[in-house]
Amino acid sequence: MTNPTTPTAAPVTTIGARLRVALPVDRLEATGFPGRWVGGTAMTLGPFLMLSGALLRVRFPFFFPDQLAAYERHPTLMATAYGLFAAGGPLLWPAVAVPAARIGVRSAGWGLWGGVLVMFGLFARAFLAGWTIWPFSWCVPRGPGRPPKRSPPVTVPSTSSPR
């Protein structure tokens, strides 16, 4: 006879077991794509490009009117800085794919969803870099003897027709 007041132990489930039930993902073997050399090169070059771009523009205040004024005075430097920073983000995708695949061998859900979320973040950053660079097209580099660009006059068609 058992004592009804004695607590019984609940089955212990790990987070990984609960995650496999919630996110039914098949276990993948390490396919080797994109490969450790490509991933390692991306892990080296991506942050280096982003750091180079950030260091090129560090001497200018980061607030956007100051960045636009810096672009007006130094267009090549600022375009290079923003271009390097923008190129570093998408270059990091192989650097994310390699650890995500290695994690996926052990825990498929963590590898898949962690890799997907980081990829979304990388490419969202690339999209936002485009929005950051776009206002520079409004600046017109001016030099000595070069008049500012003006837009052509707008003509409105007449609504009344001559008889």
The answer to whether the CB of 77 falls within 8 A of the CB of 136 is no
95 pLDDT higher than 60: yes
pLDDT, residue 101, reads: 86
52 pLDDT higher than 90: yes
Q: Which residue has the higher pLDDT, 122 or 52?
A: 52
51 pLDDT higher than 90: yes
Question: What is the rounded CA–CA span in Å between residue 147 and residue 136?
Answer: 18
Mean pLDDT of 59-67: 84
Is the pTM higher than 0.95? no
Distance of CA 104 to the CA centre of its chain: 22
Contacts of 86 (CB under 8 A, 6+ apart): 53, 126, 129, 130, 132, 133
Number of H helices and number of E strands within the chain?
6, 0
Indicate the average pLDDT of the chain. Answer: 77
Contacts of 122 (CB under 8 A, 6+ apart): 89, 90, 92, 93, 96
Distance of CA 55 to the CA centre of its chain: 18
pLDDT-above-90 percentage for the chain: 10
pLDDT, residue 21, reads: 73
User: Which stretches does DSSP call E strand in 10-149?
Assistant: none
Helix, strand, coil percentages for the chain (3-state, nearest 5): 60, 0, 40
